[in-house]
Amino acid sequence: MRSLSKVEILESVERRLHCASAATCLEMKRGLGALATIATTAPLIGLFGTVLGLLDAFKGCIGEKWFCQMMVIDAVTEALVATALGLLVAIPAAWFYNYLTNRLEIFNIEMQLASSELLNYLNIYDQSRLKRREIPEQSPLT
């Protein structure tokens, strides 16, 4: 079994750091897709409730004018509640999604910087060890 060269060791460490970084990012991204789906579909569900409410409001417009106005006002109020609930869910979900995505991006950059620092340290440490071996130590008495 042959031993690895220093370059091969550094490349192996670099590959392992990259794999660990990718695995960590994948773990951290879990659930972000569902949060994005909630943030984008909640207003649409609220809008759908509004449309159904408005359709229901105008369905009751048979008879006297004042009764029709009361039915429409009541149904529009209920329909707008559906819109408000959709927005009440969507806005915090979008904020939270954007916050987590931003934190994940910052974390990725920090992991890349830390990986580069470690590889640089290992490279410098290895080079300094080689230089110490090349320079013979001189005795203080000579």
CA–CA separation, 115 vs 128, rounded Å?
20
Domain assignment present for residue 124? The answer is: no
Domain assignment present for residue 125? The answer is: no
Domain assignment present for residue 58? The answer is: yes
CA–CA separation, 67 vs 44, rounded Å?
30
Domain assignment present for residue 141? The answer is: no
Domain assignment present for residue 77? The answer is: yes
Domain assignment present for residue 53? The answer is: yes
| Structural domain count, the chain | 1
CA–CA separation, 96 vs 125, rounded Å?
43
Q: Render pLDDT for 78-126 as a digit per residue (tens, 0 to 9).
A: 888 888 999 999 999 999 999 999 999 999 999 999 988 988 888 877 6
Tell me the whole-structure pTM to 2 decimals: 0.68
Domain assignment present for residue 105? The answer is: yes
Containing structural domain, residue 88: 30-119
Q: Render pLDDT for 25-69 as a digit per residue (tens, 0 to 9).
A: 888 888 899 999 999 999 999 889 888 888 877 776 766 777 777
